[in-house]
Amino acid sequence: QNTRTIVFPNFKLNRCFSTPVSKEKLIVFDTSLRDGEQSPGVTLTSEEKLEIARHLSSLGVDVIEAGFPIASPGDFDAVARIAKEVGPLMNGREKIGKPMVIAGLARATEKDIKRCHEAVSHAPLHRIHTFLATSDIHLKHKLKIDREECIRRAASAVAYAKSLCEDVEFSSEDSGRSDKDFLCKVLGKVIEAGATTLNIPDTVGYTSPEEYGVLIKYLIENTPGGHKVVWSTHCHNDLGLATANTLSGILNGARQVEVTINGIGERAGNTALEEVIMNIHTHPSSYPVFHTINTQQIYRTSTLVSSLSGMVVQPNKSIVGANAFLHESGIHQDGVLKHRQTYEIMSPEDVGVFNVNLVLGKLSGRNAFRSRITELGYGDMAEVDFNKAFDRFKELADSKKRITDHDLLALLSDQVTTD
């Protein structure tokens, strides 16, 4: 293995690679609190959003989109609190060397952008993310403007955002169904106006991996100034291709991925963070990037997001589903007992799943309970809090045969916020 030092603006890491290729840092932009919260039926309180944001910071996420500040006073308040309270955190981020960038979403209007800036600017590192649709179908039926007006609005929104903030991202909504050459024109103008990240949403999850990869490559090569900005993927999962499309985007030059925990989001959801990261993790030599996600925090963050959002994770969901590391058939069990790699392509511990076989219920004792909550990140509780949590666990176990990690996290996070 070759050990090399990679220097990336604000990142300096010693990493080992099996092949002597030069890798670039992948920027992981989590939008669980914005696009994820747009999942039908999901509403999170400010406290819940703060808790998720803290976990995302320890997970090693580079940028979080904390919300859509103009949407409501509650959204504004949550984004501003995250910027103030989570924005400066360095806990568990020492190897990354900088806190998270806190971003907020804004339509391409001065009013939205100003409000967004008021909320995010409390964070040491912050970003304004503004967007405008570029597909003819959106221009004609939703915005009722022509292409010239679209270019004018996009460029003037970015110029205004840039007058407030150095870090500006622009998204061309519905890029997946936009005319490529028109996209190059719009994106060239927003680069000229100061955008530093260009995000290419497949808003309705329409493209295939090949098509999406070709689009990213074409835009990078044909947009004036395209080589000086970061290109980003943002894929929806309507056809079940969000992760494949995102990976194809990376192979074709994207260096930021927009993702959510458990793939929550509008309709069929967004690309799942855990899927993209574990694909890169299990195939390091296939991708020209490295990431700085602390993979052992994945399961813990997944269970927290699931219990706070009420979006249940399907048992057979890759990486974080309850069955993802269980072996049922005799042949598989026999194989795994002989050598784990016969039926495991990653170890559960890599994503923070420990003791998959330990079932907690009313007969479980204090040691088993302590060991499980320690693995879930609550190991440093004062003894008095531990005793309270254990009593509540026993009460719950009287009414429920099997206590899952989701139950435990609900119980523990409830205790932290009510005490």
- Binding residues vs ligand KIV (CB under 6 A): 35, 131, 171, 173, 199, 201, 203, 234, 236
Contact partner, 378, from Zn ion, ligand KIV, none, Cβ < 5-8 Å per class: none
Instruction: Pull the structure tokens for residue 263.
Output: 């793939």
CA 342 to each of CA 128, 328, 333, 346: distance values in angstroms, whole numbers, following the listed order: 47, 14, 10, 11
Instruction: Pull the structure tokens for residue 104.
Output: 């907020």
Q: How far is the CB of 227 from ligand KIV (least distance, A)?
A: 23
Q: How far is the CB of 146 from Zn ion (least distance, A)?
A: 24
Closer residue to ligand KIV, CB minimum distance, 29 or 378: 29
Closer residue to ligand KIV, CB minimum distance, 186 or 403: 186
Those residues whose C-beta lies under 8 Å from the C-beta of residue 4, and which sit 6 or more positions away, are: 14, 15, 17, 20, 22
Contact partner, 243, from ligand KIV, Zn ion, none, Cβ < 5-8 Å per class: none
The DSSP call for residue 98 is S
**What is the rounded (10 degree) CA torsion for 78, 80, 83, 85?**
-70
Alpha-carbon gap, residue 272 to 261, rounded angstroms:
6
Count of residues near Zn ion by CB under 5 A: 1
Closer residue to Zn ion, CB minimum distance, 234 or 300: 234
Q: How far is the CB of 214 from Zn ion (least distance, A)?
A: 21
CA 199 to each of CA 254, 308, 395: distance values in angstroms, whole numbers, following the listed order: 9, 28, 48
Q: How far is the CB of 201 from Zn ion (least distance, A)?
A: 6
Q: Could you tell me which residues are beta bridge partners of residue 28?
A: 257
Question: Strands 24-25 and 11-17, how do they pair?
Answer: unpaired
Q: How far is the CB of 271 from ligand KIV (least distance, A)?
A: 11
Closer residue to ligand KIV, CB minimum distance, 44 or 397: 44
Contact partner, 57, from ligand KIV, Zn ion, none, Cβ < 5-8 Å per class: none
- Using CB under 5 A as the binding rule, the residues of this chain from 33 to 62 that contact Zn ion are 35
Closer residue to ligand KIV, CB minimum distance, 44 or 204: 204
Closer residue to ligand KIV, CB minimum distance, 131 or 369: 131
Instruction: Pull the structure tokens for residue 258.
Output: 């927009």
- For the chain, what is the largest distance between any 2 Cα atoms, rounded to a whole number of angstroms? 69
Closer residue to ligand KIV, CB minimum distance, 201 or 226: 201
When CB distances to Zn ion are compared, the closest residue is: 35
Q: How far is the CB of 295 from ligand KIV (least distance, A)?
A: 26
Alpha-carbon gap, residue 190 to 197, rounded angstroms:
10
Is 289 in contact with 26 (CB distance < 8 Å)? yes
Alpha-carbon gap, residue 260 to 273, rounded angstroms:
5
Alpha-carbon gap, residue 49 to 395, rounded angstroms:
28
Is 118 in contact with 69 (CB distance < 8 Å)? yes
Contact partner, 131, from Zn ion, ligand KIV, none, Cβ < 5-8 Å per class: ligand KIV
Is 121 in contact with 86 (CB distance < 8 Å)? no
Contact partner, 209, from Zn ion, ligand KIV, none, Cβ < 5-8 Å per class: none
Instruction: Pull the structure tokens for residue 363.
Output: 């007969």
Contact partner, 171, from ligand KIV, Zn ion, none, Cβ < 5-8 Å per class: ligand KIV
Alpha-carbon gap, residue 101 to 232, rounded angstroms:
15
Closer residue to ligand KIV, CB minimum distance, 130 or 294: 130
Contact window for Zn ion (CB under 5 A) among 27-35, 335-343, 351-359, 384-392: 27-35
Contact partner, 301, from ligand KIV, Zn ion, none, Cβ < 5-8 Å per class: none
Q: How far is the CB of 324 from ligand KIV (least distance, A)?
A: 27
Closer residue to ligand KIV, CB minimum distance, 172 or 303: 172
Q: Which residues bind Zn ion (CB under 5 A)?
A: 35
